[in-house]
């Protein structure tokens, strides 16, 4: 495990019987040998992090090649996240998935883009559903455009208006198109509602045929599933560069983007903005929102097993740097805001730092050797980017500009 030098704090809480299997998984993990130290010039964490090492297998073997990572350790880590946090989707691309272009305008944005609205529909044993994808493709390009897909967790009419009568810095589609990227977005509520209704609506109603268990998928995983269905369409559109589609999310959408990128390796870039707890921020040593807080307020976001780790962060068999590592060698951007203490920006940054050894297997530096930056001074390169924007918990035009800067640099490499 990756060690720091501060003392640890232990917690003892009663554990519900149905949660014992997941704790057994955590307790059965071997004591991993210490990894090579990673230099991090940030303020001291409040506890000894004792992070699980992404490059040591459950059997205690050190992973030293990208082949070993891809064949063995990546699969292990992904499975640990499914079991302990995000849950397991009962279906991938469903049979009979349909795409219907319900609107097309070749002269959108004063002729600068072609607008499409696409209904992506599915059906399962329990019913049917659909999401509406809004897409703007730059006109005048001599090749397919790379694309940013936003998982919109705010009201669609005010943030991803296809008519552009209402514009929002949350999704500055005009600026994205002007930089030569296609701008795509869907509303997460089309896939599953952001409320705890015992998983009886949306895609849960359509596909949850077996009784739910501690490993059943939560709403974050359902929204990530929706992002993959949007990608299923995008890779068929002749105007889109299918190998350069990035997924973007803010806050709960940022958590979703990370899980979508971990589960679906077709995403060439993953952007997690102000995602905090169970997003980019390390759970160990975290201030602000913790596991107990997030599961109490949003009991539907994650699987049942995750609730066992309230006040037991040190017993998790994973931490969020390992989720970031699952994106390697694809492009990863983590962004924070100075006034977003609830998300804990330094722990968001540290996830990128501690994911970097996996990027190094591919000859990419990630955030290796980088120090926590000053506000509005992005750190970019080596397959990864990070910035600390001045301001509050939000997704802004400044953030989007930084994401596009890194994409432009990395897509050329």
Alpha-carbon distances of 403 from 79, 119, 181, 247, 313, rounded to whole Å: 29, 27, 11, 11, 31
**Residue count (the chain):** 413
Residue carrying structure tokens 């071997």:
30
Q: Walk across the sheet containing 98-107 and list its strands.
A: 98-107, 113-124, 127-138, 182-187, 145-152, 240-250, 269-273, 331-337, 384-389, 379-381
121, 130, 168, 393: the active-site residue = 393
Residue 183 phi, psi (nearest 5): -115, 120
State the Cα–Cα distance between residues 31 and 19, nearest whole angstrom: 22
* Cβ neighbours, 10 Å, residue 287: 14
Output the six-digit token pair for 116. Answer: 């499409």
State the Cα–Cα distance between residues 236 and 63, nearest whole angstrom: 36
216, 250, 251, 387: the active-site residue = 251
250 is catalytic: no
Q: Is the dihedral of CA 162, 164, 168, 173 positive or negative?
A: positive
State the Cα–Cα distance between residues 299 and 181, nearest whole angstrom: 36
336 is catalytic: no
Q: What is the set of active-site residues?
A: 251, 393
């Amino acid at each position: 495990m990756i060690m720091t030098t501060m003392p640890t704090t232990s917690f003892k809480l009663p554990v519900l019987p149905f949660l014992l299997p997941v704790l057994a998984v955590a307790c059965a993990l071997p004591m991993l040998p210490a990894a090579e130290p990673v230099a991090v010039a940030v303020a001291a964490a409040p506890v000894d992090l004792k992070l699980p090492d992404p490059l040591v297998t459950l059997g205690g073997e050190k992973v030293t090649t990208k082949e070993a990572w891809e064949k063995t350790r990546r699969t292990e880590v992904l499975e640990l996240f499914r079991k302990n946090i995000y849950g397991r989707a009962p279906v991938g691309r469903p049979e009979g998935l349909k795409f219907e272009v319900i609107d097309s305008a070749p002269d959108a944005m004063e002729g600068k883009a072609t607008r499409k609205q696409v209904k992506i529909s599915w059906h399962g044993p329990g019913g049917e559903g659909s999401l509406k994808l809004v897409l703007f493709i730059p006109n005048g390009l001599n090749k397919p455009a790379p694309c940013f897909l936003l998982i919109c967790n705010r009201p669609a009419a005010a943030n991803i208006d296809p008519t552009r009568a209402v514009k929002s810095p949350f999704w500055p589609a005009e600026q994205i198109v002007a930089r030569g990227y296609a701008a795509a977005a869907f509303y997460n509520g089309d896939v599953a509602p952001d409320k705890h209704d015992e998983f009886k609506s949306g895609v849960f109603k359509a596909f949850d045929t077996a009784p739910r268990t501690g490993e059943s998928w939560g709403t974050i995983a359902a929204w990530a599933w929706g992002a993959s269905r949007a990608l299923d369409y995008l890779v068929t559109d002749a105007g889109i560069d299918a190998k350069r589609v990035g997924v973007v999310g803010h806050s709960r959408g940022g958590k979703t983007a990370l899980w979508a990128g971990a589960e679906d390796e077709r995403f060439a870039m993953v952007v997690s903005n102000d995602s905090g707890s169970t997003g980019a921020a390390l759970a160990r040593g975290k201030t602000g929102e913790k596991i107990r807080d997030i599961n109490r307020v949003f009991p539907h976001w994650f699987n049942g097993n995750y609730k066992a780790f309230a006040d037991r962060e040190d017993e998790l068999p994973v931490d969020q740097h390992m989720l970031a590592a699952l994106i390697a060698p694809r492009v990863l951007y983590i962004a924070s805001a100075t006034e977003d203490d609830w998300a804990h920006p330094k722990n968001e940054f540290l996830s990128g730092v501690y994911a970097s050894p996996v990027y190094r297997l591919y000859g990419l530096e990630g955030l290796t050797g980088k120090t926590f930056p000053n506000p509005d001074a992005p750190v970019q390169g080596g397959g990864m980017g990070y910035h600390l924007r001045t301001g509050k918990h939000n997704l802004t035009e400044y953030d989007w500009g930084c994401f596009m800067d890194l994409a432009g640099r990395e897509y050329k490499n």
